[in-house]
Structure 1
Amino acid sequence: MSRSTEYNARHLSVLEGLEAVRKRPGMYIGSTDSRGLMHCLWEIIDNSVDEALAGYGSSIEITLHPDGSVEVEDSGRGIPVDVEPRTGLSGVEVVFTKLHAGGKFGGGSYAASGGLHGVGASVVNALSSRLDVHVSRGGKVHRMSFRRGVPGTFQDASRPSPEAPFAESTEVTPLEVVGRAKRGVTGTRVRYWADEQVFTPDARFSVEELQARARQTAYLIPGLRITVRDLRRLKGTPGEQGPHEEVFQYDGGIAEFAEHLTPASPVTDVWRLQGSGTFSERVPVLGADGRTQMKDVDRTCEVDVALRWDVGYETTFRSFVNIIATPKGGTHQSGFEAALLKTFRDQVAANARKLKAGTDKLEKDDVLAGLTAVLTVRLAEPQFEGQTKEVLGTPAVRRIVNNVVSKELAALLKSGARTQRQQSAAVLEKVVAEMKSRIAARTHKENQRRKNALESSSMPSKLADCRTNDVTSSELFIVEGDSALGTAKLARSSDFQALLPIRGKILNVQKASVGDMLSNAECSALIQVVGGGAGRSFDLDAARYGKVILMTDADVDGAHIRTLLLTLFFRYMRPLVEAGRVYAAVPPLHRVEVVARGKKEREVVYTYSEKELAQLLTRLESEGRSYKEPIQRYKGLGEMDADQLAETTMDPRHRMLRRVRISEFEAAEKVFDLLMGSSVAPRKEFIVSNADELDAERIDA
């Protein structure tokens, strides 16, 4: 079989206009599945958002229709309807049919915008089986329709459909005037049907993703009202039962956004850092003769940052350029992080003696621990890497963000205002504690690496370990006191159940620093035995046990110890909790011996609450059965013998465990912060207001 090797100029294909978009859609929208479908919608929405960002229009309405179409309506200035002199086409037709056409190239229409490449509306038009645009401007309502990027007229009366007969325009298409607009009313309404020939059959608009983007945009443009309306009645969506509408409007801007994103209890209020800077860059400018010339242009970059620290160690960071999210960062993010690190290093060095920081240096992760930050920059014609705009590339922005953040943050940290001074001290203590925790974890890891096979285990001597090496089946019981430990050793199955006793109440890590926690014998032993480390460096895969079970007495002291332990796990071993591997044992409160009838064996019933005991006794009385008195009330695990402890609390075949979830941790944390935190006034108010509800019998006096 012969194969032709001829390759001449006639073999080359030249794709013109929107034909290139339909031939290679992935180049413009990334993919043709749901992700690409949503990208098209973002392009239309971003045009409306840019109008609001420029100060024109205060509302955007997005509607998902049952026929698969989507509609975006704004109250901006409206797309220009006059004739563009070079092409002889109306502004509407230029925007929707010409690639790299728009009002964001010359710099006169938009000081800052998200749409920069001029392909958004025209690409969506090319990939739509039908697109209708209505423009309210100059007291008139203008309309134009397209089919797969080609202008023309659909022959349909009241219900628009892409299947309606279509007449393609053969000459320059004039805009059709279809009505009168109220005085002063302007705006653009775009409705389009994504082309089924291009997108995959399972491509769907995600209302959840749309709402998240709308919420984010409303935070970034204070006062903008965004309405998301879902009329599709899709199963499994909020609009399943009928039309569903959500409205997003936030006058507080990114300060409210930072509050919304903060995951845990805050250490500081939301701090706002604002400023601007100028730079010059050489860019091609289109002249009146249609040629481009390289010119030096002066630019202004506005910087706005909202940030706060919380008691946790997770970092939540969002960065934006002209309200376009940049999830992969760029020059603005690198400038922010560099300024943050340098400013904190300077402040820690200046207060090293007070903070007991020593000569160690902060690292970026120490400062970012527990930080929630929203960073926005606004500038004309930013340089992005690719059409998806995920990374900002403008070099000068790094310097400007660095200068603004350094100056504003240093002023806050040095402020003499009482509240600000307290918050600054708390943040500095937190970052120094993170540094000490990181150094301690690194030292521990290095010590572990230096061990050889001949050295003995570094585990605490009081640990009664299990024999199995299978993590999934192993269990670590944290036992309250030595008396319970002796019984538990007899009751456990040493093949897979390990025991670690704790003496009394461990350190209250709610108020203690990381250094104090690591130097506390009980806390450090517990972290060492679990084996995954602590804080940001905690490694779930390195944890030595599949289940960690807190086994404390069923009294007030036991509840207190359990709360202290849970606070330690929540603060420093949170991934273990999130994985559902932390449990609380549920020991019984009462042991009831039911008198046997005839030759039957004596029956023993355990109850776990006063209510359950009352129900049992009522049932026995109704059945005419008697029980041995007095009923045994367990005040501690040490009062049980080994068989009783195994049967009720340790044997997997009979025991009851309560899995501790993050939601329960957060609720417990709030109560514990109230009862054991450093603020006295709320605790006093709680005690006074709830004194009447105290049951004296619950106190083990």
Structure 2
Amino acid sequence: MSTFIRDPQFQGQTKEKLVSAHANKLVEQAIKDHFDHWLSGSPDLGKQLIEHFIVKAEERLSRRQQKEVSRKSATRKLRLPGKLTDCSLGDASGTELFIVEGDSAGGSAKQARDRKTQAILPLRGKILNVASASAEKLRANQELNDLMQAIGCGTGENYNENSLRYEKIIIMTDADVDGAHIASLLMTFFYRQTPKLIENGHLFLAMPPLFRITQGGQTYYAKDEAHKDEIINEQLSSKTKIEISRFKGLGEMPASQLKETTMCPEKRNLLKITVPNLDCLETNSMKSKPMTRLEVDKTVDTLMGKKT
């Protein structure tokens, strides 16, 4: 494949690898569908091709004296997670990755999304609780590895803002207790592994409605019981029948309503995830005493169930 890219970025001084974030999207958009079609029709050749890639990857890793990297890790670096439905925009600016729970919600989100700017990554249920998990379990967790592979920025000291594949990372879960738990696990993961992602304002929480309220030709959406009562008491007439329905999950919400209430930038409500006063020092003031990083860490450990 021959391509021309403006302002390319390469890895290291030897320039052995192109690392421009938008280049990955351009290549994927050009070959992914055709390659997937070929693989489905030629599974045996596909297995041989994968084995060839693995061997070559191991040879490169050996030459670079990186024997600690496993074959599985090397293979994952060659492509994005298969369950990721990417957007078509080549640059990270203006793009969004929606992290959703399960294939059902993922299917509705794929129909509701803006294909140009919005990508979808479904997760299988509740992810690993990184506040109490060992480093070995964290490295072996496929769901979290796929998540970071899709985001592209790396973790810990290896975090690279320039490699971030999306401008906004949006956690979109059901508006119930289980959804809140999944969102908490994800926020804990990002706080532990990519704190700069939060500090730089990239992490958001979608606020899907819990109720749909209809009276006549008007439809209202409420985020919780209190909001529902407020709408009924202050905005609706008692003379006309009021119909109230509760959403059981994002997967059961029609794509048109999911787009209108949760994914459309002009109509949705997003909550930016922040850690206030993360880097400040302790003070002697008794009023609004700021939290140190250590205190924040201890709070996260307590809330997420780590034994101390």
Maintained 8 Å contact 2:222/2:228: yes
User: 1:546 offset after TM fit, Å?
Assistant: 0.4
Partner AA of 1:674 in structure 2 = T
Cα deviation, 1:307-345, whole Å, max 9, x if unaligned, reads xxxxxxxxxxxxxxxxxxxxxxxxxxxxxxxxxxxxxxx
Would the alpha carbon gap of residues 582 and 476 (structure 1) be closer, same or farther in structure 2, given more than 3 Å must change?
same
Equivalent residue, structure 1, for 2:233: 618
Maintained 8 Å contact 1:490/1:642: yes
Cα deviation, 1:103-154, whole Å, max 9, x if unaligned, reads xxxxxxxxxxxxxxxxxxxxxxxxxxxxxxxxxxxxxxxxxxxxxxxxxxxx
Partner AA of 1:679 in structure 2 = K
Maintained 8 Å contact 2:98/2:120: yes
- Out of 677, 683, 686, which is 2:305 matched to? 677
Cα deviation, 1:212-235, whole Å, max 9, x if unaligned, reads xxxxxxxxxxxxxxxxxxxxxxxx
The 5 A counterparts of 1:586-601 are 586-595=207-216
Question: Which of the two has greater strand per residue?
Answer: 1
Q: Give the Cα–Cα distance (whole angstroms) in 2 for the partners of residues 465 and 584 of structure 1.
A: 19
The 5 A counterparts of 1:653-668 are 653-663=266-276
Q: Give the Cα–Cα distance (whole angstroms) in 2 for the partners of residues 650 and 489 of structure 1.
A: 11
Cα deviation, 1:42-61, whole Å, max 9, x if unaligned, reads xxxxxxxxxxxxxxxxxxxx
Maintained 8 Å contact 1:481/1:501: yes
Pair 1:550-2:165 in alignment: no
Equivalent residue, structure 2, for 1:16: none
Q: Give the Cα–Cα distance (whole angstroms) in 2 for the partners of residues 668 and 499 of structure 1.
A: 30
Pair 1:480-2:107 in alignment: no
Question: Which of the two has greater helix per residue?
Answer: 2
Equivalent residue, structure 1, for 2:260: 647
Secondary structure of 1:498's match? Answer: strand
User: 1:617 offset after TM fit, Å?
Assistant: 1.0
Equivalent residue, structure 2, for 1:63: none
Equivalent residue, structure 2, for 1:530: 151
Cα deviation, 1:288-325, whole Å, max 9, x if unaligned, reads xxxxxxxxxxxxxxxxxxxxxxxxxxxxxxxxxxxxxx
Secondary structure of 2:276's match? Answer: helix
- Out of 631, 635, 641, which is 2:248 matched to? 635
TM (norm. structure 1) is 0.31
Secondary structure of 1:505's match? Answer: coil
Would the alpha carbon gap of residues 445 and 579 (structure 1) be closer, same or farther in structure 2, given more than 3 Å must change?
farther
Equivalent residue, structure 2, for 1:604: 219
User: 1:678 offset after TM fit, Å?
Assistant: 3.6
State percent identity of aligned pairs: 42
User: 1:634 offset after TM fit, Å?
Assistant: 1.5
Maintained 8 Å contact 2:169/2:203: yes
User: 1:589 offset after TM fit, Å?
Assistant: 1.1
Pair 1:467-2:88 in alignment: yes
Pair 1:510-2:131 in alignment: yes
User: 1:505 offset after TM fit, Å?
Assistant: 0.7
Q: Give the Cα–Cα distance (whole angstroms) in 2 for the partners of residues 669 and 556 of structure 1.
A: 23
- Out of 157, 160, 166, which is 1:539 matched to? 160
Cα deviation, 1:630-652, whole Å, max 9, x if unaligned, reads x1111311121000000000011
Equivalent residue, structure 1, for 2:28: none
> RMSD over aligned Cα, in angstroms?
2.8
Equivalent residue, structure 2, for 1:562: 183
Partner AA of 1:566 in structure 2 = M
User: 1:607 offset after TM fit, Å?
Assistant: 1.1
User: 1:669 offset after TM fit, Å?
Assistant: 5.8
Q: For structure 1, which runs of at least 5 residues remain unmatched after alignment?
A: 1-435, 449-456, 596-601, 681-701
Partner AA of 1:614 in structure 2 = D
User: 1:540 offset after TM fit, Å?
Assistant: 1.2
Maintained 8 Å contact 1:620/1:626: no
User: 1:501 offset after TM fit, Å?
Assistant: 0.3
Partner AA of 1:677 in structure 2 = G
Maintained 8 Å contact 1:538/1:573: yes
Would the alpha carbon gap of residues 603 and 664 (structure 1) be closer, same or farther in structure 2, given more than 3 Å must change?
farther
Maintained 8 Å contact 1:580/1:659: yes
The 5 A counterparts of 1:71-470 are 458-470=79-91
Q: Give the Cα–Cα distance (whole angstroms) in 2 for the partners of residues 554 and 460 of structure 1.
A: 27
Partner AA of 2:166 in structure 1 = Y
Equivalent residue, structure 2, for 1:494: 115
Q: Give the Cα–Cα distance (whole angstroms) in 2 for the partners of residues 639 and 664 of structure 1.
A: 39
- Out of 187, 204, 227, which is 1:583 matched to? 204
Would the alpha carbon gap of residues 612 and 510 (structure 1) be closer, same or farther in structure 2, given more than 3 Å must change?
same
Would the alpha carbon gap of residues 668 and 482 (structure 1) be closer, same or farther in structure 2, given more than 3 Å must change?
farther
Partner AA of 1:608 in structure 2 = K
Q: Give the Cα–Cα distance (whole angstroms) in 1 for the partners of residues 273 and 251 of structure 2.
A: 24
Maintained 8 Å contact 1:563/1:668: no
Would the alpha carbon gap of residues 555 and 643 (structure 1) be closer, same or farther in structure 2, given more than 3 Å must change?
same
Maintained 8 Å contact 2:151/2:165: yes
Equivalent residue, structure 2, for 1:330: none
Maintained 8 Å contact 1:585/1:656: yes
TM (norm. structure 2) is 0.67
Q: Give the Cα–Cα distance (whole angstroms) in 2 for the partners of residues 552 and 573 of structure 1.
A: 20
User: 1:672 offset after TM fit, Å?
Assistant: 4.7
User: 1:620 offset after TM fit, Å?
Assistant: 4.3
Maintained 8 Å contact 1:507/1:520: yes
Secondary structure of 1:473's match? Answer: coil
Partner AA of 1:470 in structure 2 = D
Aligned length: 227
Q: Give the Cα–Cα distance (whole angstroms) in 2 for the partners of residues 628 and 492 of structure 1.
A: 30
Q: Give the Cα–Cα distance (whole angstroms) in 2 for the partners of residues 618 and 670 of structure 1.
A: 42
Equivalent residue, structure 1, for 2:60: none
Q: Give the Cα–Cα distance (whole angstroms) in 2 for the partners of residues 603 and 664 of structure 1.
A: 43
* Rg (Cα) greater in structure: 1
Q: Give the Cα–Cα distance (whole angstroms) in 1 for the partners of residues 149 and 125 of structure 2.
A: 19
Q: For structure 2, which runs of at least 5 residues remain unmatched after alignment?
A: 1-65, 279-292
Cα deviation, 1:616-671, whole Å, max 9, x if unaligned, reads 111245x4452433x11113111210000000000111111000002399798655
Maintained 8 Å contact 1:592/1:627: no
Q: Give the Cα–Cα distance (whole angstroms) in 2 for the partners of residues 668 and 656 of structure 1.
A: 26
Equivalent residue, structure 2, for 1:7: none
Partner AA of 2:221 in structure 1 = Y
Partner AA of 1:628 in structure 2 = I
Maintained 8 Å contact 2:212/2:222: yes
Partner AA of 1:626 in structure 2 = T
